[in-house]
Chains A and B, each alone.
Chain A
Amino acid sequence: MSGAATVRGARDLFRSRARSAADLCRDAIARIEALDPALHAFNTVVSEQALARARVVDHEFDRWRDAPLAGVPIALKDNLCTRGIRTTASSRMLEHYVPPYDATVVSRLAAAGAIVVGKTNCDEFAMGSSTENSAFGPTRNPWALDRIPGGTSGGSAAAVAARLTPLALGSDTGGSIRQPAALCGVVGLKPTYGRVSRYGLIAHASSLDQIGPLTRTVYDAALALEALAGADPADATSASAPVSQYTAALTGDVRGARIGVPRSLLEQGVDGDVAHALATALDTLRARGATLVDVELPYAKYAIPVYYLVSTAEASSNLARYDGVRYGFRAAPAHRLHPGSGGQDAGPHNLKDMYARTRALGFGPEVKRRVMLGTYVLSAGYYDAYYLKAQQVRTLILRDYEQAFQGPEAVDAIAMPTSPTPAFRIGERMSDPLQMYLADIFTVSANLAGLPAISVPCGFTSDKLPVGLQLTGRPFDEATLLRIADAYERDTSWWKETPPTVSAHPAPPPAHPAHPAHE
């Protein structure tokens, strides 16, 4: 395996001048060209811009040598705004939208020396669990091309799993980093709410959304978080809590760590192979010196209904801005099916018809469904019964976790499977939205409680589909979470296994003789 398959490896190749940033960039683009026609992980690839940027980094080698992500090719979920690069959120509504600014995470990764090679496919406006809700077609799972990669950051997970880029950013509103990471056999970290600035993230549900990395290793996730985390004047919800040296926390020592297992929650609907992989993973952690403790999260079983009431309410408000005025797409007057008043082409009805037709044509079915549900639960007469009630139960879920993380019986992390099942087949759940929502049973509560959570590869099903172990931690204590996940990774080799689509296209030969840095 080429060293460029990890962030650390790619950076070290750059630092040692074994590979230039342009070499690393060309390798990534060549792999995308070879594999992406089958995977469709990317909506947009910016080969020229990426190579131009890589050449600048090579030219200024002394300046970039010590940058934490110097020369590393990366991918960004297509709901992160990139100045001058179209950003679609996988929606017709934004098909031609070119942001006039970079998201804070994009600026931070650029400052750390990373090179953006493209924008990855996702569910439209990050709504879904499979990346099938993309207006541009689904992404395929590198482990089985007839299966979904998970979602909503499915393109990012597939890109990292297929070794297209060693780092991709995702966003996680109800599991959208962790679940695709699990289903594609990579590491996915959702930081604490507020740990990473959301400025420039196309909003889905603002009290739940958080940006985070997808990588091959826990070390790489820690490295990425060091670059991403921190307060941002442009995001009033970003936290000013100090940013740790996350990579320094990876000591491999989990002796005395207490890991909670919510056994009663895990009794319902977990696939047999997934349950077996979880049990084996817990044994591995125990053998390393961690203590397993039973915990109760009595309200966690209500997380899905609470999530779909809260997130759709917020989404219906956030998506109100897409009205055909500022984001590129507008339905032509000829598209009006139900003209407001006698076919006149002026007057308030004309404007409202334009809004309603633009939204009807620009949004896909799942987005419409959620905007409708959110509008309903916020409407007069139903607000108290649904939205307010859900917010109260959210408090109870939050208290469950607070209790588990506090007091003499406190645990350091809570372990669950990331997803109750492995990747399902493309098309299998598309006709039943509720069935699709149930895929999120173990991931949504971390968003409702704002807690950091990570998914690490923990085995395979008998069909050779990846399974993920999810660890949820205390707020702003990503260091402990990463330490436990890294220790687990050290005792396992799941993360090293190569998907069949990648074996068919092996990585480029490592370390050619050094190219001159100054071209």
Chain B
Amino acid sequence: MLAFAMPTVLTREQVSAIAALAHLDLDPAELDLFARQLGSILDYANQVQSIDTAGVPPTASLVVRQTTDRADRVGPSLDIADTLANAPDPDRTHLEGGFFKVPRVIG
């Protein structure tokens, strides 16, 4: 039914590639552990492949509400100081500009 076989064991390289997509810096022990565990979970999940789903639409959401119009009115927003208080910036310099700061990206 499928043009390619599902892998039952992932290689360390495959796991490393997924980790890069997920922005997770995994150590070698984690790469090996996840290769094994994700492989066995996928192996189990592969039982769905045997189900005939020809012509069956996918269900992504169960939302029943109709989209409706609302008045375009300005309402209260989050308090900027409360929100910025969660920034990990230890010297609190971000508070002056009202921004979250990230590490330098331009040298």
Contacts and interface: CB of A to CB of B under 8 A. Distances in A.
Contacts of A336: 25
Contact of A372 (B15, B46, B47, B82): B15
B97 interface: no
A334 interface: no
A354 B2 CA distance: 39
Given A240-B65, A396-B53, A396-B56, A348 B37 contact: no
Interface stretch (A36-44, A285-293, A320-328): A320-328
A433 interface: yes
A434 B88 contact: no
Given A305-B45, A305-B48, A345-B103, A194 B25 contact: no
B80 to A, nearest CB: 9
B85 A98 contact: yes
Given A207-B61, A329-B88, A347-B107, A371 B24 contact: yes
A337 interface: yes
Contacts of A450: 62
Contacts of B49: 385, 389
Chain B interface size band reads 35 or more
Given A302-B48, A375-B18, A325 B78 contact: no
A394 interface: yes
A344 B103 CA distance: 12
Interface residues of A, number: 82
Contacts of A241: 64
Nearest to B75: A233
A395 B62 contact: no
A393 B64 contact: no
A389 B53 contact: yes
Interface in A266-303: 299, 302
Contacts of A354: 102-103
A350 interface: yes
Describe A's contact surface by its main secondary structure. Answer: helix
A392 interface: yes
A302 B51 contact: yes
**B2, B22, B53, B83 — which one has the most chain A CB atoms within 10 A of its CB?**
B22
**A350, A373, A398 — which one has the most chain B CB atoms within 10 A of its CB?**
A373
Contacts of A395: 56-59
Interface in B23-51: 23-27, 30, 34, 37-38, 40-42, 44-49, 51
Contacts of B60: 207, 391
B74 interface: no
Given A302-B48, A325-B102, A372-B24, A207 B86 contact: no
Contacts of B103: 333, 345-346, 350-351, 354
Nearest to B51: A393
B24 A360 contact: yes
Nearest to A235: B65
Contact of B34 (A238, A369, A448): A369
Contacts of A373: 38, 41-42
B64 A433 contact: no
Interface in B54-107: 56-65, 70, 78-79, 82-83, 85-88, 100, 102-107
**B58, B59, B88, B104 — which one has the most chain A CB atoms within 10 A of its CB?**
B59
Interface in A364-412: 365, 368-369, 371-373, 375-376, 379, 385-386, 388-396, 398
Contacts of B22: 316, 359, 371-372, 375
A125 interface: no
B86 A98 contact: yes
Contacts of B23: 320, 323, 352, 355-356, 359
A220 interface: no
B21 A379 contact: yes
Interface in A300-346: 302, 304-306, 308-309, 316, 320, 323-330, 333, 336-338, 344-346
Nearest to A305: B45
A357 interface: yes
Contacts of B53: 389, 392-393, 396
Contacts of A372: 15, 18-19, 22, 24, 34, 38
A368 B24 CA distance: 8
A97 interface: yes
Interface string A233-259: 100111111000000000000000000
A376 B18 contact: yes
Given A372-B18, A385-B6, A395-B57, A345 B34 contact: no
A375 B21 contact: yes
A489 to B, nearest CB: 29
B97 to A, nearest CB: 14
Contacts of A388: 58
Given A347-B107, A372-B34, A433-B41, A100 B26 contact: no
A237 B65 contact: yes
A353 interface: yes
A78 B79 CA distance: 22
**B44, B62, B107 — which one has the most chain A CB atoms within 10 A of its CB?**
B62
Nearest to B67: A236
A136 interface: no
Contact of B56 (A194, A359, A392): A392
14 contacts: A207-B60, A240-B65, A320-B23, A323-B23, A353-B25, A359-B24, A372-B24, A373-B41, A379-B18, A388-B58, A389-B49, A392-B51, A392-B59, A393-B51
Given A376-B42, A393-B56, 4 more contacts: A359-B22, A372-B24, A393-B48, A433-B37
